[in-house]
Amino acid sequence: MTLTADPRLDRRIAHIIEMLGGFAPGAEPLPAGATYEEALAYCERFEAADAAGHGAIRAALPQWPNVKSSEVVITGQDNNEITLFVHQPTDVTGPVPCVYHTHGGGMVVMHAADPSFVRFRNDLASLGVVVIGVEFRNGGGSLGPHPFPAGLNDCASGLQWTFANKAELGIDKIIIAGESGGGNLSIATTLKANMEGWQSHIDGVFAMCPYISGQYGAPPATLPSLTENDGYLIDCNQMAGMSKVYDPNHEHAADPLAWPLHASLEQLQGLPPHVISVNELDPLRDEGLAFYRKLLAAGVSTAGRMALGTPHAGDQGFPDVVPEVYADLTNAIVTFAKAR
């Protein structure tokens, strides 16, 4: 079955996908067993196809009269420059929570400066929280090639800067949130903090449709959604190729900092509260659910949510198509941040 023919899909989303021609239309798909060079070339095609729609997205952006936006450039732990996008609500008094956002793109494509992510951060900030987006190095595309752990190190550096500047930013706590590859990086940054002893910097994790197993070339029976929903916006060949761009020689296939689903219960113990959010019609649905159950088994305070009728990141990616679904997600993130 195709995604748009699946009766579980919200018909409004089906209509827009049919109208647009799919996800990054025009980017020739990756074959099974693609080489590193082929996967790198795919990242270039994907970004070009995605960027073709940026003008229309920017033209449709709403106004946020109660949000002030700025940029800060810091030096990361690898002595590289990292841009942080800071969005601050202007109609609040006293310290407020911060949502530190790690954007999606499989850790190998897309940019924090892309208009869809700008909208997401501003929409969150308009609800009364400071939002900081980190422009980390990618495994491929125009911000690459920088394989693991470059992007993770940048996310960690930006979060440590945010913690050190809490007073100046007007924040009292920090949660880290991200979707897809950004969901991976939000969890991996927290695992890294736990391993290195600065876990107190992070008060919570809100991981959306996390891309965390690395098992896309040979989907295991324990993650049936990889087969059930294969080809629904994203597919296993694509994800296997992108995982090769992130970890070219598969040296880190079992490293939880690269693929957090492989974390042991001992490595998960002591982590801050989590929300694991998944999409019903996503190939990645079941690895998110498996990680949710693993966190519970490790004694981590964890809540789970599923956006029914949506494909990969569909509750975030179609704000004007399914506005009530999008509002449910943004309100859930802000409520989680304010409750920490």
Tens-level pLDDT at each residue, the chain (340 residues): 899 999 999 999 999 999 988 777 777 889 999 999 999 999 999 999 999 999 999 999 999 999 999 999 999 999 999 999 999 999 999 899 999 999 999 999 999 999 999 999 999 999 999 999 999 999 999 999 999 999 999 999 999 999 999 999 999 999 999 999 999 999 999 999 999 999 999 999 999 999 999 999 999 999 999 999 999 999 999 999 999 999 999 999 999 999 999 999 999 999 999 999 999 999 999 999 999 999 999 999 999 999 999 999 999 999 999 999 999 999 999 999 999 7
pLDDT of residue 20: 85
Rg (CA), the chain: 18
3-state secondary structure of 192: helix
Token look-up 């975030």 returns: 316
The superfamily in CATH containing domain 11-339 is: Alpha/Beta hydrolase fold, catalytic domain (3.40.50.1820)
Tens digit of pLDDT for each residue in 59-79? 999 999 999 999 999 999 999
Q: Closest by alpha carbon to 190, among 297, 274, 82, 271?
A: 271
Kindly state the tokens that stand for 274: 């989590």
- The residue count of the chain comes to 340
pLDDT of residue 11: 98
Burial status of residue 249 (CB atoms within 10 A of its CB: 0-12, 13-18, 19 or more) = exposed
Tell me the backbone φ, ψ of residue 294, rounded to 5 degrees: -65, -40
- State how far the Cα of 320 lies from the Cα of 323, in Å rounded to an integer: 5
pTM above 0.75, yes or no: yes
The reply to whether omega before 149 is within 30° of 0 (cis) is: yes
Q: Closest by alpha carbon to 136, among 107, 160, 114, 115?
A: 107
Q: Closest by alpha carbon to 155, among 143, 168, 138, 172?
A: 138
Token look-up 């008060």 returns: 203
